[in-house]
Structure 1
């Protein structure tokens, strides 16, 4: 049975049950009314019996006229009080009134459900699940690699159905992994990274999941090895020391972090592994030589680096969330395009602050290096900003600092993030 029809039937049954529950007091009233009538009839019989006894006593002259009249009046008052207490002036339900309630309550429930919110998207999802749910499951379990043409026509429905399928089978790491591949094909790296993180948490020993998670995270973060991804790569290399993909990520990550000796060490390991294999590897060796040259050049440039200490006031430190981005810019105080724009993860920004190096490597344009701007005598200022969106342009809610003039004679500077962008 289609999900939509099943939902409607369940809703109707629930509404009818609600109508019956509402009418239960009416049925109780009928039983109570019968009990009250029985009690009144019994009291009337007792009244008649006592009245007969009273008249008998009067006829036999056991009581006088005044006593007879007073006791008779007391009996009549007692009967009147009982009659008034058991009489309820209320609406007495009948079959027609009950039928109206049974019809109107489901109708009013349906109207409220329709008016309060639009459920058309939910109904479309149910229809997609009924029609292409099997296709989505086969794609996520690897039984098929491409959807049939009939399912591909409803691309949005297929994606939504696959997302629902993954969440219904949330403990299956391969479903999350294949869902990440779909996200990458749709150019949605953030969703792909989240799906890969879930897959890795469910099965951290799967080498394919681990290395894909590390690569996606590495490139999504601009070639920076976060502490988490570094641990992922270290675990992959502990299980498979010759994994060249993990080794190359370590080379590029260490180079990006400024650990040039470590980068050369990993580069040498990769080179030795390639040379140990049979065949012509001249192209690969040439690429590694170019990479080593790049490492050496960056190391030479880094020796002229400026050490920037980024601090943040405790009052706004709680606004920094995991996954936020830290931007450190150096630009002319007079205004204009930044000379340097360094983008890193803000996860390591704590109450003690964060220290980082900025050099020509971080210059935006290769023809406008930081060292050239300093030599030319430009007045430069350093700013730091924590962004939740990761956008290079400031957004409302970002945490930022005031510009700090750069002293060209010093090799360090301190920036304080102390305000929120309105």
Structure 2
């Protein structure tokens, strides 16, 4: 309601000023200006109606309310000062909008970092990355900002370590070799990415400084798993299948997958590939594993699905090959024959 009143007053003032100027100029030219007041009034009414029907966004009032309520908090954060309101009193979504607005006028490294941390809390890794990069442009020597960027890059890759994220983590560890946060981020994301040598190194570093109590037990489990998975890499990290597609057109999308016999749901490993010709040999490397390596005695099968449409999803791949049992260690690629059913 207050917004409407302010807009109406502004329109009336503008209309009055224009009318007075118009009337003065008309009289100088010797014209009769009697009754001319109706013209600017009509203009003001039409402008007010247009603003009400088109210009007033339904979220504007809420945005202005948040701007007024949390503006001081945002400005204190940007200035690097402790905000007067506790974090629990400020909704993250509202503070994001206000902080973004304030940063467009007064950029600061700590402000962009805070915005990135809020986006990270809200599960928006792309926005977290953008804010972290802006923070680093203003303060490239802050370890927390490098780790924020690393977390964003990892989350964008489904919590799996990427090479750019590893560069950010190593930047921190080169300067702070005992930074527990950096080592923990590396341990967990490397484990998810199947990079077990890095995961082992990270768990061992953490355990060397936290060797007692429940924390030590958790860290030891992580280290044991990383070492176990690393030992199995030689068996599982390079499995292959030769896929025959007699009578099928090349140029489509092929999915080769590995799973436990009789299981359903997410496969243990999978690779998607555009087929240039048949037969084609596809390898499942460490980067293609979606879950941890199973026990070497596990009964595994390898299969394939295909669709002539390039860039299609696995759900569209209706042409299948009957899965075959996988013999380990694998001496030669398994043979899969695609057929229409």
| TM-score, normalising length: structure 2 | 0.63
TM-aligned CA distance change 1:342 to 1:198, over 3 Å: farther
Of stretches 248-257 and 96-105 in structure 1, the one that deviates more from structure 2 is 248-257
The corresponding residue for 1:161 is 98
Larger radius of gyration: 1
Equivalent residue, structure 2, for 1:175:
111
- Which deviations, in whole Å up to 9, do the C-alpha atoms of 1:177-222 show, x marking residues without a partner? 223444455x434354553344334423111222233245435644
The reply to whether residue 304 of structure 1 matches residue 227 of structure 2 is: no
Q: Determine which structure has the larger helix proportion and give its number.
A: 1
Note the C-alpha offset of 1:239.
Answer: 2.4
Q: Give 1:109's aligned residue.
A: 47
Q: Residues 181 and 156 of structure 1: is their aligned pair in 2 closer, same or farther, counting only changes over 3 Å?
A: closer
Cα gap change, 1:260 to 1:204, in 2 (>3 Å): same
The aligned residue for residue 380 of structure 1 is 303
Match of 2:172 in 1: 236
Q: 1:295 Cα shift?
A: 1.8
Q: 1:250 corresponds to which residue?
A: 186
Equivalent runs, 1:13-52 vs 2, <5 Å: 13-14=13-14, 27=26, 31=29
Aligned residues of 1:211 and 1:233 also touching (Cα < 8 A): yes
CA pair 256-124 structure 1, distance change in 2 beyond 3 A: closer
Question: Compared with structure 1, are the counterparts of its residues 281 and 113 closer, same or farther at alpha carbon in structure 2 (3 Å cutoff)?
Answer: same
Structure 2: 5+ residue stretches without partners:
242-250, 275-281, 337-341
Describe the shift of the 1:328–1:152 C-alpha distance in structure 2 as closer, same or farther (beyond 3 A). farther
Correspondence for 1:292: 223
SS of residue paired to 1:231: helix
Cα distance in 2 between the residues matched to 1:257 and 1:365: 12
Aligned position for 1:72: none
Equivalent pairs, count = 302
Tell whether the 8 Å contact from 1:193 to 1:213 is kept in structure 2 after alignment.
yes
Could you list the runs of 5+ residues in structure 1 that have no partner in the other structure?
35-92, 310-314, 317-326, 385-397, 415-422
Tell me the secondary structure at the aligned position of residue 380 of structure 1.
strand
2:141 to 205, 217, 242: 205
Summarize the alignment of residues 143-162 of structure 1 with structure 2, pairs less than 5 Å apart: 143-145=81-83, 147=85, 152=89, 160-162=97-99
Is the alpha carbon distance of 1:223 and 1:114 closer, same or farther for their aligned partners in structure 2, counting shifts above 3 Å?
A: closer
Moved more, 103-112 or 281-290: 281-290
Contact 1:139/1:147 (<8 A) preserved: no
Q: TM-score, normalised by structure 1?
A: 0.53
